[in-house]
Amino acid sequence: MNSMDKLACIDLEGVLVPELWPAIAVRTGIRDLFATTREIPDYDALMRQRIVLLRQHGVTLSDLQRILKAIKPFNGALAFLQVLEAKGYRVNIISDCFHELADPLLHLLGGPTTLCHRLTVDDEGFVSGCDYYPRKGKEEHVDKALAQGQQVVAVGDAFNDINMLRQASQGFLLNPSISTLSAAPDVRAVESLEEILELIG
């Protein structure tokens, strides 16, 4: 197979980089920002909660961006993507993150093709809403690739990744929470990116 026939759909947070919102929670002291899709499967409800909390505590988008400057990709994340590409995979980051928060990290990962959301901001600089990437779910990307005869490897770690992983030719759940693991006992759970590279051959 050439690179037109092989696609890797990779989640970002919890797979290639640390979860961004828990990092924000630590720096701001806003305890409820620790919640992620590992705990709250309804992503839109989760984001509405986050937006309210940020405004209540006076945290603007520029504040968030300053906080996240200290975040770096996981050790081995860039090498993982490079090995996938060397194996002939086109890499797509399929994430429910936001460009305004994640772009510096994506740059450190070599600037892979990324399909994620954008934040809207009001005149005071507060996050006011979400401009979601037009998809029903991450699995939509996998479905389209499979329909074109491509082999698809998918990697994720949370509730919002499960359908994508189930649809893929090979799907891997990386270090999932107990609740995520119990929701997807049929998906292969792995402990490291290196293990994934070994399993795909």
- pLDDT at position 9 is 98
Residues annotated as catalytic (active site), given as ranges: 11, 13
pLDDT above 70 coverage of the chain, percent: 97
pLDDT for 151: 97
Q: Does 2 have pLDDT greater than 60?
A: no
- What is the arithmetic mean of pLDDT over 5-15? 96
**Mean pLDDT, to the nearest integer, of 44-65?**
96
How far is residue 132's CA from residue 187's CA, in Å, rounded to a whole number? Answer: 27
The stretch 121-134 carries a mean pLDDT of 96
Helix (H, G, I), strand (E, B) or coil at 188: strand
In this predicted structure, what is the pLDDT of residue 3? 53
Banded pLDDT at 50 (limits 50, 70, 90):
very high
Domains of the chain, first to last? 6-18+74-118+133-200 (3.40.50.1000)
Q: Return d(Cα 157, Cα 176) in angstroms, integer.
A: 5
Scored b (16 or more CB within 10 A) or e, 100-123 reads bbbbebbeebeebebebbebeeee
User: What string of DSSP letters covers 33-46?
Assistant: GG--TTT---HHHH
